[in-house]
Amino acid sequence: MVTFETVNELTLKVTSTGNDVIFAKAGAFIAGENSGAKNYRFEKVLLGPQQNVGQALLGSLVRRVTGENIPLMKVNLSGNSVTYYANASQHVIIYQLQQGETISVESENILAFTQDCDYNVRFVGVGVLSQKGLATTALTAKGKNAFVAVLSDGNPIVVSNVQSGNTISADPDAVICWVGHGHCDPSVTADVSWKTFIGQTSGESYQFEWHGGQGVTVMIQPSERSGLSLVD
């Protein structure tokens, strides 16, 4: 069995008590400990974490076309061990998904996940609006040990309409991930007027929007992704 927890907000601690496998961002390992000879090893993931070769090939192609490509490594854990992972001093947030629950996350914000997560890339059709977003990486719990660790530039805020039924709006370039059951992908709202065409925009012309009936929890970081974007 494997468990995820955070250390000082900036590091992921993975505790293994048997023969386990996790997938992590390539190069994210920073330390490890176990009794006796080292009983964990790292393996480059060439195509993707899917066990089916056909699905892995298709997934690799989709990720490259949509920009959701992420360099992953497979960590084989054999016996009791503790390993640690981090990335550029970013904050680490952990989700333990319930059966059938899905987290949709930007590929660059993935730090690690367990093999009880079913991995795929799903189109949400908004790539022309933000730095990322034509497709999103979706991890769905297929077992009881579905942990996901995500990265944030600074301490994020978490907004949920599961209880309130409120409408949630967010800047696409600040959204890290959203969690829910069933179809909970956002719609895209555009605040476009004649000022847009003469360069007098607020810089917030487009937003992701989730309506009350979707029942979603959204994580938002206190910074926008850098780079050219049609949102700017």
Q: What is the pLDDT of residues 100-139, one digit of tens each?
A: 899 999 888 999 999 999 988 777 654 444 444 456 889 9
DSSP state, residue 108: G
Q: What is the pLDDT of residues 196-211, one digit of tens each?
A: 444 444 455 678 899 9
Q: Does pLDDT of 151 surpass 80?
A: yes
Q: Examine residue 33 and state whether it is found in any structural domain, yes or no.
A: yes
Q: Examine residue 230 and state whether it is found in any structural domain, yes or no.
A: no
- For the chain, what is the domain count? 1
Dump the DSSP string for 171-221. Answer: -TTTEEEEEESSS-PPEEEE---GGGGGT---S--EEEEE-GGG--EEEE-
Q: Examine residue 216 and state whether it is found in any structural domain, yes or no.
A: yes
Q: Examine residue 203 and state whether it is found in any structural domain, yes or no.
A: yes
Split at pLDDT 50, 70, 90, the class of 194 is very low
pLDDT of residue 82: 97
Residue numbers of the domain that contains 207 = 2-220
Q: Examine residue 116 and state whether it is found in any structural domain, yes or no.
A: yes
Q: Residue 93's beta-bridge partner residues?
A: 150
Q: Examine residue 126 and state whether it is found in any structural domain, yes or no.
A: yes
What CATH code is carried by the domain that includes residue 72? 3.60.160.10
Q: Residue 71's beta-bridge partner residues?
A: none
Q: Examine residue 151 and state whether it is found in any structural domain, yes or no.
A: yes
